[in-house]
A and B are shown apart, each in its own frame.
Chain A
């Protein structure tokens, strides 16, 4: 069970490093193609072509690391699949039928069909590809949302979950807000990467026109998405957690004792044994206000719930949440400063900020990973909230030794893929924006 969790956590976290860039970058590429169509200025098309090269490598790794995910529900989590397959199988199958077919059909045309399709056709294909990747995101989030907040189901005769209302299940309010939060995060990742490459080229004094364009598009997109990340999407997700997963809220904020005027911990280390938050720096009453809209609202602490229903890794959950919020805030601040400098036409001369932008690209990845850790650890000890415990979800007949072996195998294989990926992307960034045309 522990190894099943480790394996899934590893493969899904690793996999998601790629789609988050795919989805955000697809939107940015569509924007660039649209500007090219409108302005007829070739620099937009050159920029779109450069990012399409990165996109191709990133997409390939996303596809190949994504295949195991759908299999692992059955291989490692047969108890869960048997219990909830009648419901969540729907969205997983729909992801294949509606999103993957669309994406895979359009990718080749997008990458190699620019001449054949013409300007409008190529823009349309890019838009379709973007729609496919965003659709895929929705189906998978709707699946996750059912695990967080099950709706639209009935319990069948043999105790398994069966679909009762398709629309209730697909339009789960949790899914809608989780999706919005996830997609704006994905845009932040891609925009930060775009700005970061722009900053790198600017700092080494190469590709003047492209680097200025990347900086402007990246910074402004990331700023807008960072604001949306906090309000309304982050705020709404917080309220859903407060309403439907109060144990998760208590654990991720480090609230052990119930009470009104609940403080918001900025820093502190949870001590689960003593049930206290050590060395805390807090904003009094803020948690009550954020969760329930009033400083006097009572926030239930972990002491209000039986210990067997507490999330099973409170310190990691607490830190994951604080890292997500902390990095999200830092990215917002950096992008706000950079946007101000762009407005003052001084960003390109302010090397300190360019350095910060160049080095900032890992932070959105860390923040999204921490965000997913928060979501998944907060749901524990349940795999389907209040309906099935994670302990009952693993495959009953699979030997742990097999899972250890395959986990080691995945780590080894993915390590090699990571090295190849970084090498190829590094090469593309070093080759610069006009390399592809030289190759033709």
Chain B
């Protein structure tokens, strides 16, 4: 009872993280394409500047929740993905600094440096996150002790050898890049006005087709790395239902872009991302880390969890904490409601 609950709560926290920090990353990916002048760029940074830090806390909170609820999975996953995680940390550092420090000096060279850092870090972070989801779907060579090590990349051929970056996970990474680029563009349609908004609409229309194409490729490739992956999706029905809702969100975006209400396309993207991640978690349950060497080595919500007492105590403070978090976020986003205009100064 407690384990499925924590599995769901952890999934929910990760979804909130991807949806919220996803638009920060997305804004970084499309930054160079939709924001040309310095005023445009300040407009984009004013949209993400006050919220990126709070959004990133969801990653820390989800990581902490994985740590205390499923310590075995935290230990195995974080040590197994050693190198990409450390690189991810460096990129998160650079991303945060680029948003925070750009406005501190009024020089063109200073702006340019942080603009490039912001784009570079946002793009690579999203590819790594996408590849990480690819690794979770495909599985890793967990051994009997519950640990694994895995090469950073392979020769990229369809081949039994697997790596953190192999043909499948790279495609997953590019899929994530397209999805969050679209998410970021739609966020800017909502928050920006003037030329940034216009360019974001035009870009979103093109990105939408890329998302469709890469979604098809990723789905088609999944059985080549994990033939049985889709079986629970059909057998359990509700992950399938979530997938249908997700696709409804995706197909809602183009007509919504023609409408007058600028938040609607972004809401479509939120439904799409949340739906696809929830459907994936529903398909994977109860597995947290799948072993490619022997299915009995899989770390599941039941084999990797902390004690019942720990999970129960955690639930008490988690609920209190989340009520507070909802209050903070409502307060902050209400304070920041409306469009960020290009005329208002960067801060």
Interface residues of A (CB under 8 A from B): 56-57, 60-61, 63-65, 67-68, 70-71, 73-76, 78-79, 81-82, 84-90, 92-98, 100-102, 104-109, 112-113, 116, 154, 156, 160, 162-164, 166, 395-399, 402, 406, 409-410, 413, 417, 420, 424, 427
Contact = CB atoms under 8 A, between A and B. Distances in A.
Interface stretch (B90-98, B195-203, B257-265): B90-98
A424 B101 contact: yes
Contact of B53 (A104, A162, A399, A417): A104
Contacts of A61: 97
A156 B61 contact: no
B310 A64 contact: no
B307 A162 contact: yes
Given A81-B67, A396-B145, A406-B83, A102 B313 contact: no
A89 B78 contact: no
Given A93-B68, A93-B314, A96-B60, A107 B324 contact: no
B136 interface: no
Contact of A71 (B65, B89, B104, B317): B89
Contact of B82 (A67, A101, A402, A427): A402
B310 to A, nearest CB: 4
B75 interface: yes
Contacts of B105: 424, 427
A92 B147 CA distance: 22
Contact of A398 (B56, B79, B306): B79
B68 A64 contact: no
A65 to B, nearest CB: 7
A427 B54 CA distance: 27
Contacts of A90: 68, 310, 313-314
B68 to A, nearest CB: 3
A74 B75 contact: yes
A87 B61 CA distance: 16
B328 A101 contact: yes
Contacts of A106: 328
Interface in B69-100: 69, 71-72, 74-83, 85-86, 89-90, 92-93, 96-97, 100
A71 B79 contact: no
Given A67-B89, A92-B68, A100-B60, A75 B78 contact: yes
Q: Is the interface of A mostly helix, strand, loop or mixed?
A: helix
Contact of B307 (A78, A84, A86, A410): A86
A100 B86 CA distance: 21
Nearest to B305: A86
Interface stretch (B168-176, B211-219, B286-294, B329-337): B329-337
A84 B89 CA distance: 23
Given A60-B101, A93-B67, 15 more contacts: A70-B60, A70-B64, A75-B78, A75-B86, A78-B75, A81-B74, A82-B71, A85-B75, A89-B74, A97-B325, A105-B329, A163-B313, A164-B309, A395-B75, A395-B79
A92 to B, nearest CB: 5
A397 B77 CA distance: 11
A63 B53 CA distance: 8
A74 B77 contact: yes
Nearest to B149: A397
B86 A63 contact: no
A74 B79 CA distance: 6
B318 interface: yes
A94 B307 CA distance: 17
B321 interface: yes
A85 B77 CA distance: 14
A380 B259 CA distance: 65
Given A74-B77, A89-B71, A94-B321, A105 B332 contact: yes
Given A67-B60, A100-B61, A85 B101 contact: no
A-B pairs with lowest CB-CB distance, top 7: A74-B78, A85-B71, A89-B68, A93-B64, A395-B79, A78-B79, A97-B321
Contact of B93 (A67, A87, A397): A67
A122 B152 CA distance: 48
Nearest to B327: A105
Of listed A90, A96, A406, residue having the most chain B CB within 10 A: A96
A63 B318 CA distance: 22
A79 B78 CA distance: 11
A113 B335 CA distance: 9
A409 B88 CA distance: 12
B322 interface: yes
B148 interface: yes
A406 B322 CA distance: 35
B5 interface: no
Nearest to A100: B57
B63 interface: yes
A152 to B, nearest CB: 11
Interface in B98-131: 100-101, 104-105
A280 to B, nearest CB: 44
B307 A156 contact: yes
Of listed B63, B81, B89, B97, residue having the most chain A CB within 10 A: B89
Contacts of B63: 70-71, 74, 96
Contacts of B100: 56-57, 60
A64 B60 CA distance: 12
A74 B67 contact: yes
A139 B76 CA distance: 24
A85 B306 CA distance: 8
Given A64-B96, A82-B75, A102-B328, A92 B64 contact: yes
Contact of A86 (B51, B71, B146): B71
B57 A79 contact: no
